[in-house]
């Protein structure tokens, strides 16, 4: 599986920010749900932005329905991403659904072939080191949070925007995607002050439709 090995190597570039964000999440969620629930959430949900969003709602006194809704809205971006990845997946519905669980932002970007298609093995390989670091980081934060202190004091709250900016730079070709990127940024900036969490991201993804006109 040479492509899976290549994906694994490419995914290693994202292990440092992932391993830094994991403890930050563990520290945040442990007082709300407990250490065991924090670790299990990272294993079964495995969606950093959605996990942060839902736990933030709970920590602020919100209900379970609001927390789940926030997480679903933030993860709404995976609907168009999944539709794009679907032709590359193999097997029946259960196997395809299981493979789709490996689709995270960085792995999805790494798996793009440049012709509109995706490499399934690249995606799976890229996710392996990221998943291991996310799970380990969450456990470190949840079990040893008292030793870490406030993650904001270490600047870990700046990791998310830096992480997604790195993905954007990795993928952007101004000649092809520049207009879509600018339009998506404008939509998100306009909606962030007034829309619920997650909605700006989903709405901004509509800018990708410009790419259909260029194909």
Q: Give the pLDDT band of residue 170 (cuts 50, 70, 90).
A: low
Q: pLDDT by residue (tens digit) across 64-114?
A: 887 888 788 778 888 888 888 999 999 999 999 999 999 998 899 889 887
Residue 181 inside a domain? The answer is: no
* Structural domain span for residue 122: 2-149
Q: How many CB atoms lie within 10 A of CB 166?
A: 15
Distance of alpha carbon 79 from the chain centroid: 13
Average pLDDT for 9-33: 88
pLDDT higher than 70, residue 35: yes
* Domain annotation covers residue 168: no
Query: Is the overall model pTM greater than 0.75, yes or no?
Result: no
Is residue 50 domain-resident?
A: yes
137 vs 140: CA distance, rounded Å? 5
In a domain, 98, yes or no: yes
> Do 215 and 187 touch, CB atoms closer than 8 A?
no
- 214 part of a folded domain: no
| 206 in any annotated domain | no
Q: Is residue 159 part of a domain?
A: no
Token digits for 19? Answer: 């391993």
Q: What does each C-alpha distance from 180 to 115, 161, 175, 195 come to in angstroms?
A: 17, 19, 10, 21
Region 187-210 average pLDDT: 75
Structurally, how many domains does the chain consist of? 1
Residue 116 domain-assigned (yes or no): yes
């Amino acid at each position: 599986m040479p492509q899976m090995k290549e994906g694994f190597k490419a995914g290693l570039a994202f292990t440092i920010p992932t391993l830094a964000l994991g403890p930050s999440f563990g520290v945040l969620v442990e007082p709300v749900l407990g250490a065991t629930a924090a670790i299990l959430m990272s294993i079964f949900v495995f969606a950093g932005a959605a996990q942060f969003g839902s736990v933030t709602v709970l920590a602020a006194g919100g209900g379970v329905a609001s927390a789940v809704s926030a997480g679903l809205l933030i993860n709404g971006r995976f609907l168009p991403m999944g539709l794009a990845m679907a032709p590359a997946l193999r097997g029946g519905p259960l196997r395809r659904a299981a493979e789709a669980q490996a689709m995270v932002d960085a792995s999805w970007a790494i798996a793009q072939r440049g012709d509109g298609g995706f490499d399934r093995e690249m995606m799976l390989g890229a996710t392996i080191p990221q998943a291991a670091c996310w799970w380990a980081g969450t456990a470190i934060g949840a079990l040893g949070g008292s030793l870490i202190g406030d993650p904001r004091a270490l600047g870990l709250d700046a990791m998310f925007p830096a992480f997604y900016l790195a993905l954007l730079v990795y993928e952007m070709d101004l000649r092809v995607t520049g207009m879509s990127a600018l339009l998506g940024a404008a939509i998100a900036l306009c909606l962030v002050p007034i829309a619920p969490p997650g909605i700006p991201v989903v709405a901004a993804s509509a800018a990708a439709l410009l790419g259909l006109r260029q194909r």
